[in-house]
Copies of this chain bind each other. A is one copy, B any other.
Amino acid sequence: MSRPRNAAATKAALLEAAAKLFGERGFDRTTVRDIASLAGVNQALLFRYFGSKDALFATVLATQSRELLEDSPAEHLLRNVLLRMMDEKPRPEDHPLHAVLRSSHHDSAAEVVRRQLGEEYARALSSLTDAEDAALRADLVLAWVVGIGVLRSVFGKQPLAEADPAKVAALVAQAASVLLERTDSG
C-alpha cells in the first residue's frame, strides 16, 4: 500500500504542497506541519531535503518565477501577464505572484519582486516606449497589474474579482497605451 521510497517524489510533493499553501496563506500563516501533512510525508523530511522553512520558500519562489517569464514575447507581455493574473480556472493560488503578494515582508519575496519584476518585466515593458521616463512608465504599468492581482485575489474586490478577463485586459491596454506609446520622433 505504501508507495516505494523515492526521495525525488518526496521533494516534489513537498514543493507542490508548499507552493499551494504559501500561495493561499502567505509565508507566516503556513506551518511546516501543514506542508508536510498536505504532501503526505513526515515533517522532518522537509528539513532533510530543504534545510529550513525559509529555504523551502525561496525554492518555491525560484521555481515559480522561472516558469513565469519563459514564454512572454515583449510585445504581448502585459496582456499575457494580466490574463494569467486574471485566469482563475485551474488553480489561482499557483500563480507565482500570489505567494509573493501574501508574503511581501519576507526577504526572499521582496528580492524576487525587485529582481524578477524589476529586471525582467519592467525592462520588457519599458522597451515599448521611447519616452525619456520609460522606466517609470513601465513601473506604473507593472503597478497596475500587481494592484489588480491584489484586489482580485487577496481581497476579492467586486466587481473586479469576477469581471471578464478579456474586458479587463482591453480596458487596461487601452489606458496603458497612453503611457507606453511611441513618439517616433527621436
Contacts and interface: CB of A to CB of B under 8 A. Distances in A.
A176 B147 CA distance: 14
B105 A157 contact: no
Given A101-B150, A143-B151, A178-B174, A167 B113 contact: no
Interface in A135-152: 135-137, 139-140, 142-148, 150-151
Contacts of A168: 136, 140
B147 A160 contact: no
Oligomer copy total: 2
Given A143-B150, A146-B147, A150-B104, A171 B29 contact: no
A71 interface: no
Contacts of A146: 147, 150-151
Contact of A179 (B101, B150, B157, B175): B175
Interface in A119-148: 122, 133, 135-137, 139-140, 142-148
Contacts of A140: 144, 148, 160, 168, 171-172, 175
Given A26-B105, A118-B158, A171-B179, A142 B136 contact: no
Nearest 3 CB-CB pairings of A with B: A147-B147, A143-B147, A139-B160
